[in-house]
Amino acid sequence: MLKIASWNVNSIKVRLPALLRWVSDAAPDVVLLQETKSLDEAFPRLEIEDCGYNLAVHGQKTYNGVAILSKRPLEDVSVGLDGDDDDRQARYIEAVTGGVRVASIYLPNGNPVASEKFPYKLAWMERLAAHAATLLEHEEAVVLGGDYNVMPADLDCYDPPAWRDDALCRTESRARFRTILHGGYVEAFRTLHPHRRAYTFWDYQAGRWQRGEGLRIDHLLLSPEAADRLEACEIDTDPRGREKASDHTPIWCTLRE
Question: Which residues are catalytically annotated?
Answer: 106, 147
Burial string for 216-229 (b: 16+ CB within 10 Å, else e) reads bbbbbbbbebbbeb
User: DSSP letter string over 180-191?
Assistant: HHHTT-EEHHHH
Phi, psi of 55 (to 5 degrees): -130, 145
Residue 160 pairs with which residues in a beta bridge? none
70 and 104 Cβ atoms separated by less than 8 Å: no
Burial string for 20-32 (b: 16+ CB within 10 Å, else e) reads eebbeebebbbbb
CA separation for the pair 73, 62 (Å, rounded): 28
58 and 65 Cβ atoms separated by less than 8 Å: yes
